[in-house]
């Protein structure tokens, strides 16, 4: 039997005592020995997480999938791993923007990550800073916030380049005035913390939760996402900041590639995401976050499945290409440099956001000077196995003939 929310059980109860039954069951769940209490009080009650067997099973399944993911990730070459992670960063930025109704493209984000900050326009700066944050997370270079000031620093990076106007934070760190989240028809869906003092206190509770050794990191990461969005500490940018923090916190108990896959899963199935917030705030649920955490874990699980399927398929294609490349080395008389360059192009073709490789990057990947890389590139172009696709900067990729050869066609 699926775990039922307090609200659902209330509406299933046709007795005269259903209000009393609802309060009694809420108290039982809150005070159960297995429950994780946050200590954060809301008008619905103290936020808490009960741990039914469904949550335990889903948590274990998530951790089992992590072992599968880690095995798949280490089985592919270093260049392929880097290309995969960078592709996930690009998707994460595009999808988290999409959830806020902000249009950005994969090519745009990819090029901004490659460009020098000094060359970016003001309109590009907002996307580049956010992408750089996620890229730092993917490299293990991002620290979880330890103070209110740290949260504000992250927000400033997420929103860099945005013209906030009247939506700029007007308190010491956060907003000073009350806000409402308005839905269709002008209906108020949510009211955030009313004062900056309340914001400070509630964010302090969130920071204490995610640093507590007594709460599993997987649970605290998901609970903190609800808390941050519930508080709504800024006038604008809460969604993007909250999802970055979610990815950051999830990267501790889970792999980076899982943490970088969640926004895409949410963006493609966004209705349950918004409904989960609304349900958690319903008065009849008395602050219970179990259904919310279950929903978010389902997103995590689905994101893992997507990445696992993708890695399995592309790993098989890479193995096939390696066999074909070894055969082509003999039949075509490829030099070692040509072989290595082709293998680089194969990995990018399969795992990167875009198949083209910059000459500068190829130098680093192959450990060769520019002239050597140019020489081998020229030989591959002459053989019809590679194509130049850009001049400034110089880019190249597998040609159609090269793909056919390495796919065994």
Q: Does residue 185 carry a pLDDT above 80?
A: no
* Second-level CATH architecture of 34-309: Orthogonal Bundle (1.10)
pLDDT, one tens digit per residue, over 223-272 is 999 999 999 999 999 999 999 999 999 999 999 999 999 999 999 999 99
Average pLDDT over residues 189-204: 89
Averaged pLDDT score across all residues of the chain:
91
What are the structural domain ranges in the chain?
34-309, 333-407
Q: What is the pLDDT of residue 180?
A: 73
Q: What is the pLDDT of residue 1?
A: 60
- Which one is catalytic: 232, 282, 286, 339? 232
For 348, residues 6+ apart whose C-beta sits below 8 A from its C-beta are 79, 83, 354, 355, 356, 357, 397
Whose structure tokens read 């994969």?
106
pLDDT for residue 189: 66
Q: What percent of the chain has pLDDT over 70?
A: 95
Beta carbons of 296 and 222 less than 8 angstroms apart: yes
- What SS3 state is found at 174? coil
Q: Are 196 and 174 in contact (CB under 8 A)?
A: yes
The pLDDT assigned to 116 comes to: 62
Which CATH architecture describes the domain 333-407?
Orthogonal Bundle (1.10)
DSSP string covering 44-93: TEEEEE---HHHHHHHHHHHHHHHHHHHHHHHS-HHHHHHHHHHHHHHHH
CB 130, CB 157: distance < 8 Å: yes
Confidence of residue 188 (pLDDT cuts 50, 70, 90): low
Q: Among 60-69, 230-239, 263-272, 358-367, whose mean pLDDT is lowest?
A: 358-367
Q: Is the pLDDT of residue 408 over 70?
A: no
232 catalytic per annotation = yes
Residues at the binding site for ATP are: 236-243, 273-274, 285
Indicate the helix (H) or strand (E) that contains 387: strand 386-391
pLDDT in tens, 299-357: 999 999 999 999 999 999 999 999 999 998 889 999 999 999 999 999 999 999 999 99
Roughly what angle, to the nearest 10 degrees, separates helices 290-332 and 53-75? 20
């Amino acid at each position: 039997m699926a775990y039922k929310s307090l609200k659902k059980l209330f509406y299933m109860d046709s007795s005269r005592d259903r209000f009393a039954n609802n309060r009694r069951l809420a108290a039982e769940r809150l005070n159960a020995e297995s429950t994780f209490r946050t200590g954060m009080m809301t008008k619905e009650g103290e936020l808490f997480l009960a741990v039914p067997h469904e949550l335990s099973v889903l948590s274990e399944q998530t951790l089992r999938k992590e072992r599968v993911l880690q095995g798949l990730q280490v089985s592919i070459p270093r260049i392929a791993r880097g290309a995969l992670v960078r592709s996930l960063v690009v998707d994460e930025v595009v999808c988290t923007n999409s959830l806020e109704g902000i249009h950005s493209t994969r090519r745009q984000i990819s090029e901004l990550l490659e460009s020098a900050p000094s060359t970016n326009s003001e309109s590009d700066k907002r996307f580049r800073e956010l992408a750089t944050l996620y890229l730092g997370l993917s490299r293990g270079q991002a620290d979880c916030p330890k103070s209110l000031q740290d949260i504000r620093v992250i927000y400033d990076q997420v929103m860099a380049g945005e013209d906030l106007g009247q939506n700029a934070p007007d308190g010491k760190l956060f907003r000073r005035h009350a806000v409402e989240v308005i839905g269709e028809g002008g209906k108020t869906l949510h009211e955030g913390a009313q004062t900056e003092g309340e914001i400070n206190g509630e964010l302090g509770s969130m920071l204490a939760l995610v640093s507590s050794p007594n709460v599993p990191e997987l649970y605290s990461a998901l609970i903190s996402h609800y808390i941050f969005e519930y508080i709504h500490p800024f006038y604008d940018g809460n969604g993007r900041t909250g999802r970055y923090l979610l990815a950051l916190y999830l990267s501790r108990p889970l792999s980076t590639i899982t943490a970088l896959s969640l926004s895409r899963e949410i963006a493609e199935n966004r209705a349950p995401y918004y409904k989960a917030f609304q349900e958690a705030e319903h008065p009849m649920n008395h602050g219970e976050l179990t259904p919310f955490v279950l929903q978010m874990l389902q997103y995590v699980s689905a994101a893992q499945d997507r990445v696992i399927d993708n890695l399995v398929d592309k790993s098989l294609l890479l193995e096939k290409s390696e066999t074909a490349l070894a055969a082509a080395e003999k039949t075509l008389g490829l030099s070692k440099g040509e072989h290595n360059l082709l293998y680089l192009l194969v990995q990018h073709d399969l795992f990167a956001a875009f198949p083209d490789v910059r000459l500068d990057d190829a130098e680093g990947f192959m450990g060769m000077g520019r002239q050597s890389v140019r020489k081998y590139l020229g030989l591959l172009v002459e053989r019809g196995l590679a194509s130049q696709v850009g001049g400034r900067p110089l880019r190249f990729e597998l040609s159609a003939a090269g793909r056919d050869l390495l796919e065994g066609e």
